[in-house]
Structure 1
Amino acid sequence: MRIGLYPGTFDPVTLGHMDIIERATLFLDRLVIGVAINRDKGPLFSLEERVSMIETEVSALRERTGIEIVVHPFENLLIDCAHDVGASVIVRGLRAVADFEYEFQMVGMNRALDSSIETVFLMADARRQAIASKLVKEIARLGGDVVKFVPSRVNEQLRERFGPVNPR
């Protein structure tokens, strides 16, 4: 059984994340979405809210693909989380060259910790390459419309947090 782990803070989950999740189901039997607690990043949404967002967004994908998709919060080392969930593959999304440089370092460290776990990179869909959770939050905070960047339910949660979109 091919088990993959797709880790991130998902604060909030974006259409870019959903694209990577959907494409990962094409080559995995089970996908674990590891939601990092990562207190250092000071997330906008609580762990429970982020887990709930992802659960809501992947429910239709589970039904459509028949692939087991599990949402798993974690606070330990990524490689330890991979062991905990039985993953032999870590799935990472890449948007740009800058992402690759950071991810390249992470792969090297993870391979030094456990060379049996492979990392697979999926390039972001061209329409989704500019989407970053940090930018989405900033746009929403300043009253911008993020409907093109996040699932509709996530957009509603951002609007509840920050108020309505400013008219132009």
Structure 2
Amino acid sequence: MIRTALYTGSFDPVTNGHLDVVRQACSIADRLIVAIGIHSGKKPVFTPEERAELLHIACSPVAKSLGVDLEIVTFDGLAVETARRYRASLIVRGLRDGTDLDYEMQMAAMNAVMAPEIQTVFFPASPPVRPITATLVRQIASMNGDVTAFVPPLVAERLRDKFKRS
């Protein structure tokens, strides 16, 4: 039986922290669905198509090296419904600190009520990526700061390009 995991997020932009979760998820799954959440109330830096491209470029080598099938998709509903749609038995989440844990535990409990057949698995962030958030990366990039330590090289380049134009 193929074990499918779902990893959701806005990925605006994809960070080294996201890649850390992808690496860990690939260690327990045969197939990983990375699902980009589309929320009409948010004004992202990157379009869904740009985020999908960056995720594919950043995550494919990791998945391939571990023999995991990778799919990048978008969704605009509940994570558990997306998990069901793609026949995922696992939802994977990364934890940086206690604040993440509190929030993610609430989400996992709600998801368990709505979809008891789907397990949530938490991965602790590796120490080098623990402080990274997409929000902080966007703020640094918007002020022409150097984000190369926090994101894959292509993402850093695309962020520079985006904020040069604004």
**What does 1:4-153 align with in structure 2 at a 5 Å threshold?**
4-153=5-154
2:4 is matched with 3
Deviation sequence 1:13-41 (CA, Å, 0-9, x none): 00000011011111111110011112223
**CA distance in structure 2 between the partners assigned to 1:94 and 1:4 by the alignment:** 16
Q: Which amino acid in structure 1 is aligned with residue 55 of structure 2?
A: I
**CA distance in structure 1 between the partners assigned to 2:22 and 2:39 by the alignment:** 20
**What is the TM-score normalised by the length of structure 1?**
0.94
In the TM superposition, what is the alpha-carbon distance from 1:43 to its structure 2 partner? 1.2
Deviation sequence 1:106-152 (CA, Å, 0-9, x none): 11111110111100000000110100000000001011110000000
**CA distance in structure 2 between the partners assigned to 1:43 and 1:28 by the alignment:** 29
**CA distance in structure 2 between the partners assigned to 1:95 and 1:163 by the alignment:** 30
When the two chains are superposed, the root-mean-square deviation of aligned CA atoms in Å is 1.2
**What is the TM-score normalised by the length of structure 2?**
0.95
Which range moved further: 88-97 or 51-60? 51-60
Q: Which amino acid in structure 2 is aligned with residue 81 of structure 1?
A: T
**Structure 1: gaps (5+ residues):** none
CA contact (8 A) 2:91 2:119 kept: yes
Deviation sequence 1:76-128 (CA, Å, 0-9, x none): 11110000000000000000101111111111111110111100000000110
**CA distance in structure 2 between the partners assigned to 1:43 and 1:101 by the alignment:** 25
2:158 is matched with 157
- Structure 1 residue runs of 4 or more that deviate by more than 4 Å after TM superposition: none
**CA distance in structure 1 between the partners assigned to 2:120 and 2:42 by the alignment:** 23
**CA distance in structure 2 between the partners assigned to 1:117 and 1:60 by the alignment:** 27
**CA distance in structure 2 between the partners assigned to 1:2 and 1:113 by the alignment:** 20
Deviation sequence 1:23-82 (CA, Å, 0-9, x none): 111111111001111222321111111011101112222332221011111111111000
Task: Give aligned-pair identity as a percent.
Answer: 39
Which range moved further: 66-75 or 144-153? 66-75
CA contact (8 A) 2:23 2:63 kept: no
CA contact (8 A) 2:8 2:35 kept: yes
